[in-house]
Each structure stands twice: as C-alpha cells, then as structure tokens.
Structure 1
Amino acid sequence: MDMRAVADALVAGKGVSTWDLRETGPDDLLELREIRRTGNQALRNAALTLLFGLGGPDALGEHDLALVRRLIRSRLAVEVPVAMRYCEFWYAIRTGDQAAVLDAFGLSDPEPVTMSLGAEIWRQHHDGFGHQQCARVYVSPALDGWTFVFGRASDDLHPADVTEESTWSIEPREHYQAMLANEKVRRDVDRERCVALSRRFGEAHNYYRSHGDSMTSWCVAEKGELIRFYANAAPEESVGELAAENGYLLPHEDTPLPEGWADDIPHTDDPLDWQREFVRRHRRLKAELDLPDHCDADTIAEALSVHPGKVGPRTRVEGHGVIALTRCGRRYGHPRTLLRGLTYTPAPERSSLLDEDRT
C-alpha cells in the first residue's frame, strides 16, 4: 500500500478510515517510519497518526512513544473534565482504585490518556473488524468518586453459552430464537459481572442505552447483592425496583393515552405530515393529562451515580484515564484507531490540519 499517498490524503483533509487500512502490513510500518524521519512537518504528523492507527503504541517506536507520552502528560496536568458522548454501554463503580478495576476486568498494558483522547479512541471501537472490537477498554479517572469502564472483559464478550451466528438456521423463526437466546446469555453475564464487582468494590452499576433504537437496561448491585435489574428487551427478567424510577413509566410501558387518540390524523402524500401531527398531538395530550415521561438508562445513571455525558468543569477528578488491553487485545494486538488529533509538533514548519493538538 502506498502509505505516502495515504499520508498526503490525511494532510489534504481527505477521508481515510481504519477500513481503508485493513490490508496494510509490516512493510507499510517501515515506510511510515521512513516518512517520520524524512518528511516535512505535516507528513511526519500524518505518519505518526497512521503508525498509531495501524499498531497502537507499540508501532510508534521508542522515540515517538516517548514524545506522545510526554504530550499526554502535559495535557493531563491541565485537563478539564469533558463529557463522554455516545456512551452506549458502561459500568459505574464506586471506587478510585483504578488498578483494582483493571485487575477485576482482566485488563493490562494501561496507557494514560486524557479524557478527550480516551473518548475519541472508544468512539472508534465499532469501526474495527473481528476481535478489534473487543481488544481495548477505556477506564476513566475517578469522577466524583466513581470510575467508569467503557467496554467488557473478553470473557464477558465471548461466553461459552453463546452460539456463533454462522451455525444458526436460515429459517427465520429459528434464527430469531437463536438471537434471543444469545441476548439472554449476555444479559446474564453482564448482571453477574455487576454483582461480582459490587462484592469487591461495594457498589457497581451497568447501563445500556442504544443510540440506534429504543433498547435500554440498567443493573444496580451492592455488596454482592443484586438490587435492581431491568431491560426493556426482557421486562419479565426484572428484579427489584428503585426510588429513582418513581414518577416515570418504564420503557416497555405504554403511555396511557385515550383509546383511538391518533385514529383521525389524516394521511397525505407526504408521510412526514402524519408523523409531525402524531408527535404534536402526543405531546399535547401528555401535557393536558399530566402523564409521566419514560425513564431510561440515562435517567437512572444521572440519579444514582454520575452520568458520563454530564461530566464537566465542576466534576471532581482523581487520577487519569487509561486505555487498556483485554485478553483479546493481548492475543490479537491493538485495534486500528485513526486518531487525527494525536500529533506532536515541537516546531511546526507551517500550519496544517494535523498540527492542532486535540488530545
């Protein structure tokens, strides 16, 4: 692969993704290291970004890794807490003992990161292929006494009772049943992990809220006991209840609107007309009848711990975040993560898109 052309594309602001780099190999790392030695400042920055993208910290080489670590340390010294966006699944553990959290999840090789860099790396975990999606976990600093873990341990992601999709029947009903069975196994695993964490740390939660549909769940455990479990995909599995849910409808519950309230909404040539009127009428009736809102994982997390999306300058921070490898990461290597903001520029020759540090 012509890595100089890829580096030129990055400098020019053209789209390059980890999928574009999936066919690269050891010779491409050698070419990028040559660019790091001989290219102009912008190309050297691009090569650094690509080296990290292809092989993580190990691909940078001793000199570049020291530079990046020095840059991160300087940013950590003045870091202001930033909100974690797009956090679909996370654990909240009431502890500041990050080393113990890493041990509990079987994580290793922690690399310090700023909160913004950790969030950027974690956002890309879905972009990989194969085990790249389960190779690395972001563990936050302690935030108002809570440590967040974004991701799961390898054993949780690959439990023995989960069946491979390639073995499923092509008959639609059997295919669907196999999918539901796998989802139940994963719910059980996440619930057991939460209880085990609470046995070690006193209190542990996990939360899930899909950004693609309405799926949501939460689990709360204290001192080795399951206090509450709820998933709208399987409300029949619910355990316990929380005061934080009072005044809300659970996600699977219907809003008690009058029968036939939307029957007379006219259909026009533009289907959006019907949808707009549906939403307007739904909101108006809810207000008129003083009907409750639905809660979700975000609602409960904000009430019981610290919501990662609400972290800000007033949040108390202890320590720093890390990116760490799971068992899959140790076996298959760092996932490919293209971080355009990961640059170190001692004396830029000229400004470029890659000169701006956003770590």
Structure 2
Amino acid sequence: MSDLTPSRRRVLAGGLAATIGAVSGCLDESVTGGPDDDERDRVLRLLLSDVGETLRENGVDDPDEQDPIWDETAFEAVRAGEPYTTQYRTPFFSTDEDPRHAVHEGTYYRLGSVVIDEAETTRPVVRLFGVEADDTGDTDSVDAETLPAGDQRAVEIAHFAARARGNTGGIPMDLVERGGYVYRDEGAIEASALLADDGPARVAYADTTYRVAIDRERFYEPVYRATGEVVAESPEQMETVLRALKVGPRVSKEELSADAREILEDARYGGYEEPHPYSDAYAEVLRALNERPFIDGNILKDAPSRRSGSELVRYGDRYYDYGLVFQPADGDE
C-alpha cells in the first residue's frame, strides 16, 4: 500500500472484544483540541468481529434445538392466543430496543410483553455486615459453599454490597438491590437455609466473616402479559427482518480500492490503526462505514460522541460487529 508508511500503519493483536466494548467514553478529559492539537499523538483504531454468514443463527431462538433462557410456557401461550402473565421479570427478556425472536414449525415470531398490572408483595432481603474485631457475640459461622445454591448466590451478591460500603469502587447495580439480595424464586426460598428460623447468624465468604441480616420488605412489582407476533414464514424472510433491524452499512468489496480492502482485512485479524490526517484508503473505509464524523469537523470532539459500531456491517457475504476507538499512539513501528 503505497500511501501508508510503517509509522502510520500498525496491525494489533488481541483485545478485540474488550476494545469494541470500550468505544464509548474512550477519551480522557485532556483531549479537547481540534485536528491541530492532541490528536496528532493519537490513533484511530478499527476492529471487525465476524458475526457469521446469517443473522438467524444467533438472532433466533429455536426451543426444539436447545432450551431457551426465557419462559417456554409463555411461548406456547402466545402461539395458542392465550393470556400468560409474569411478575417482576418479563417473560422473554425482550425489549423494544433489543427484541427477541423465536421459531416454531417454520413460523417466526417477535416476542415481547406489555405491563398490565402492579402487584404488591413481600420479599426476603438478605444483607451482610462485617464483623468487628471486638465483637464478642456468637463466633460460629457457616461456610457459604455449604449452603444451597440459591443461598450461595444470595451471599455472593450481598457480599458485593457489603464490600462497597464506605468504598468508592462501586457495586454491580444490575445484581445488588436495596443493599443486598432479594429472594424472588419460590424454589430458592423453600430450599433456603439462610431464611430458615434457625438459619446461621454468620456466614464466611471470600475470606471474610459476615453477620447475616434478614428483613422481609414490601415491593411493588409490574405484571407483564406475554406478547408475540408473526413476522416471517420463511428463513429468507426472517433474515431480511433481522438485517433491517441490526445492519447499517453494506460494503461491497468490488466498490472499494485494493488498499481499502487490505485495511478491512487487517481490521478482521487483530485491528488496524492510523493517526489523523488519515490516508486516502482509511478515509475511504470510514466513509463506507458511514463514519464521516471521524473525517470531517472536530475529529476528537464530534466523532467519539457517536455510538460507533452500534450497528452491524455487511461486508461481502458476511456480517461483522465493529468498533472505532481513539487511543494513544505507541510510537513508530
């Protein structure tokens, strides 16, 4: 490639998934200048991750082939036109932004839910608290690994909340609730040793002994009705639906220059990067990906505000997830 010097073209190995996941917010606060400032010390890295030849393979659930993570009874009710409700959790873990699809006997469905009611209920909440060195109470504790599976999960999540108290590290908010763990599975509640009247007062986990506190608190939870709509009657039609939902740029190899195709090949196998101003071939690739903010305007301020790679790209006869991220230059290679 005649327009790319060794100092401007580097193929990177590893870190594909992590870097794609870190596209948003990748610039530090010191990078605020235009094309004549700090970006001369930074490179724009492109990575492609192969998704496959079809979107149906990962985009459609087939309960006949494998057990889905969602409620199969809800799917049966949807197909039969019968009402089916769940409380707190949606029946298909599907959202309008990320819909779930399933197939049954050659018919493809878009699965979802609507809120139809609210339920007031009482749930056990387990919280853990560190034991002080001068605590003279009952020192016997139970090893978390000896507890039933539901209790082990409760201890692990409540441990995250206990560890975060007074620290700045944060907690996994998608798991911790009300400063601990909320039991919602009836089977786990019935099998629980922690929730029993004679349950342990202390539990040992991660080389730490905790005091166990259990409260039964009031919750107001949404009631969902499962929904399903036929969207396709053939694999080809379903592929078209998924392509319309998930795919943005469509890039033809024949329409690209040889240098641009080489860049995309490098991006598929480890990554490709360049500093600004970009070579003609890299600019061609960015335009093909509809990522013009990385070329025009204030390169560092405008472009990173976009959710780069939020859509899949079709390149040739395959689909790819992709990420674009600014990062410090490592020096000439």
For the aligned pair, the TM-score class normalised by the smaller chain equals under 0.3
Where is the helix percentage greater, Structure 1 or Structure 2? 1
Where is the strand percentage greater, Structure 1 or Structure 2? 2
TM-score, with length taken from structure 2: 0.21
| Structure of higher RCO (CA pairs closer than 8 Å, 6+ residues apart) | 2
